[in-house]
A and B are shown apart, each in its own frame.
Chain A
Amino acid sequence: MQEARSKMENKVVDVFKSKVPLTVEDLWVEYQIERGVVKAVRGVSFALARGESLALIGESGCGKTTLGVALIRLLVQAARIPKGEITYWRGNQGIDVLSLTQRELRRFRWRECAMVFQSALNAFNPVLRIWDQILDTAKAHGVMSRGQVRERALQLLEYVQLDPKRVIDAYPHELSGGMRQRVLLAMSLLLDPQVLILDEPTTALDILTQRTIIDLLRRLKEEIGFSMLFISHDLATAAELADRVATMYAGSIVEVGPVEDIFYRPVHPYTLGLIRAVPTVTGEFEALVSIPGAPPDLVAPPPGCKFHPRCPYVTERCRVEEPKLEPFYGEMHSVACFNVQRVQQDTLDLQERYAKYMGGKAA
């Protein structure tokens, strides 16, 4: 324990010291496939502070979903975790998630840390009513009595703005996508976890439904105060909900910082590329720029920085050496890139927005 604590003292996450429910240190996850070994997550480290929401943004194949399921050890059989630590802190007690036994894991999941998947029909058992699934979940992870579970379930369903009586006895296919997502949220809060992990919470939902889910999540977080890690490819969701944003590429975090920093002061070429490629609805017409090329093959990734084949700022050093995540704008905003100065020069328009935003906040 002492050793773990002293390791942490040296890290950027020091800032959060005793207020962190979850820390991840140098996590590596690999899959064995026919062709070779897929290095899905490569040396990821971050901390999730109490009551904060961290967005993990990346496109397909960047390893974000693998990272998410690794946190509660839901990985498939073919996956291995050769290195790394996932520590969950309750007060000053640290639980090493990777060394939990199956029984301990069952008590850890849902009570300390819950995961909410996409609201697709296959997040539910189609032949069971919602009540049966809630009861099953509670029994599997806790010791609450049937009456207690029922009461809490009805309470939570109402809290997420569903009609409790109608929904609790319904089958999953009778509910719309938005309603199912709300049921999943209610179920995840059943045993009052400290950390909530959400995988693509608003993807595949209609615009108006997305809006209700986003508003709901914001309200829940404010009122209940859990920490939220949500995984998405959608920058807009991050802009809405996140306190901090981390962008992932080819299995590692390339930039992490407060939400206004990422959107108005990005310093990694990939983050900038994403921002320049995503249109907004309101406001004037903006010309958009796409990122050429495609994500690398995770079995045999290119040497050096994994983004270099697609990067407009690439230099010789990028082709050989892989940059490490290092603080840039103070302790809170870190980036893994050798060319941040040049990126900064291309974001003067965004930086103006930053000054305005921060000025507005101060006022």
Chain B
Amino acid sequence: MSDLQERESQKPEYLIEARNLVRMFGSRRERVTAVDDVSFGIREGEVVCLVGESGCGKTTSGKMIAGLLKPTSGQVLYAGKSVWNPRGEKGEDFKKFRLGVQIIHQDPYASLNPSHTIYQILSAPLLHHKLVANTREALERVAELLSIVGLSPVEDFLYKYPHQLSGGQRQRVSVARSLTVNPRFIVADEAVSMVDVSIRVGLLNMMADLKRDLGVTYLFITHDLAVAKFFAWEGRIAVMYVGSIVEFATTPQLINNPLHPYSKALLAAVPEADPELTRSKQRVELRSQDIPSLLALPSGCRFHPRCPYFEPGLCDVKRPEFLPVGEGRYVACHIAAREMRGSA
């Protein structure tokens, strides 16, 4: 094999990978497992959405992948190399990882420092990491970034304070801030949830343009299935329930043919902005409305008390494994896996 071929074959399949991530909170007596054995990989240039209801562990998973939270056990791999070394300290190349992965927060009112002007917020990382030679270059680069995220005319925003901008504008500044260090991967944690409906689309389109023009990879965390579908139509969606991923498939696959009962229930339950569609939708009846408490998790499959396909003796005894079921899909359900195997 030539040098080039060797290097190509050694290139990791995934830009960022989570392997058996576990995160627990609390004291020794009262431990809560927020994230329980989550594994998936994201390829360069891809969009992966992490969807689920509140408390499912999606934000915790996102923060672990972004390196802002240390996993209790499991690995996060960036470009093939583990981010944390076995002793739990920062591995080598941690700085590359740190700058390569950025985060956009949910709350536009808390994500920008109220004491700084927009220019100060955006120029700080540029100057700190010596990405620009002097303040004049910093000014040029900041102006460039502001126009990339759609905040024009630039001089209207440079010296304003965050409280003078609207929610949507602040989110754009957040995105610009994350771009200052030329990241390869951005974790967007409910980035459009607190923004008005008519502004959301503009933000999402801007973020999609960044993917197209700069090759940015995204992990988009949201509870809104419609937004997930729109943003990740060409990507994949992972559905989480009570700390683990129950289904992982491409967006068209998930939307048109969900396999896990929870995914089916979610898709059937979502209200749609279309009267005919929403009033004629087939609902999935769940056996119980109670959301399990993290302190008293059900045995076996976490979803079994509510699952309409529940099989006693199987679902309440053995935890389903997260298995590939063909066409690049993964499901954690005994029934679904059996059906897919049967039809294979």
Is there direct touching of A and B in the complex, by C-beta distance under 8 Å?
yes
Seen from chain A, the residues whose Cβ lies within 8 Å of a Cβ on chain B are 59-60, 161, 176, 178, 202, 206-212, 214, 233-240, 259-260, 263-264, 273-275, 277-283, 285-286, 288-292, 294, 353, 356-357, 360
**A212, B291: Cα distance in complex, Å:** 13
**A278, B278: Cα distance in complex, Å:** 14
Query: Is B85 an interface residue, CB under 8 A from the partner?
Result: no
Instruction: Evaluate whether A239 and B271 lie within 8 angstroms (CB atoms) in the complex, with A206-B223, A285-B230, A357-B276 already known.
Output: yes
Instruction: Evaluate whether A207 and B277 lie within 8 angstroms (CB atoms) in the complex, with A277-B200, A281-B229, A291-B198 already known.
Output: no
Query: Is B168 an interface residue, CB under 8 A from the partner?
Result: yes
Other than the known A278-B226, A280-B274, A282-B267, what 4 A-B pairs have Cβ atoms closer than 8 Å?
Answer: A239-B278, A259-B275, A280-B273, A356-B276
Query: Is B321 an interface residue, CB under 8 A from the partner?
Result: no
Give the distance to chain B from A26, nearest Cβ to Cβ, in Å. Answer: 27
**A294, B229: Cα distance in complex, Å:** 25
**A60, B291: Cα distance in complex, Å:** 31
**A275, B272: Cα distance in complex, Å:** 11
* B230: A residues at CB distance < 8 A: 279, 285-286, 288
Q: Does B266 contact A208, Cβ atoms closer than 8 Å?
A: yes
Choose from B168, B203, B255, B271 the contact partner of A210 (Cβ within 8 Å).
B271
Give the distance to chain A from B129, nearest Cβ to Cβ, in Å. Answer: 33
Q: What 9 pairs across the A-B complex have the smallest Cβ distances?
A: A290-B202, A290-B201, A236-B271, A211-B269, A206-B53, A235-B273, A291-B198, A279-B226, A279-B230
Seen from chain B, the residues whose Cβ lies within 8 Å of a Cβ on chain A are 53-54, 166, 168, 196-205, 223, 225-227, 229-230, 233, 255, 265-267, 269-279, 281, 283, 286, 289, 291
Q: Does A290 contact B200, Cβ atoms closer than 8 Å?
A: yes
Residue among B204, B229, B277, B278 with most chain A CB within 10 A: B278
**A3, B96: Cα distance in complex, Å:** 77
Q: Does A233 contact B255, Cβ atoms closer than 8 Å?
A: no
Q: For B293, give the chain A residue with the smallest CB separation.
A: A176
Q: Does B197 contact A235, Cβ atoms closer than 8 Å?
A: yes
Q: Does A290 contact B205, Cβ atoms closer than 8 Å?
A: yes
Q: Does A357 contact B223, Cβ atoms closer than 8 Å?
A: no
* A353: B residues at CB distance < 8 A: 276
Instruction: Evaluate whether A277 and B198 lie within 8 angstroms (CB atoms) in the complex, with A178-B289, A240-B278 already known.
Output: yes
Q: Does A207 contact B269, Cβ atoms closer than 8 Å?
A: yes
* B276: A residues at CB distance < 8 A: 260, 353, 356-357, 360
15 sample A-B contacts, Cβ–Cβ < 8 Å, listed by A number? A59-B196, A59-B197, A202-B271, A208-B289, A210-B271, A212-B289, A235-B197, A236-B278, A239-B273, A239-B275, A277-B201, A280-B277, A281-B267, A291-B198, A356-B276
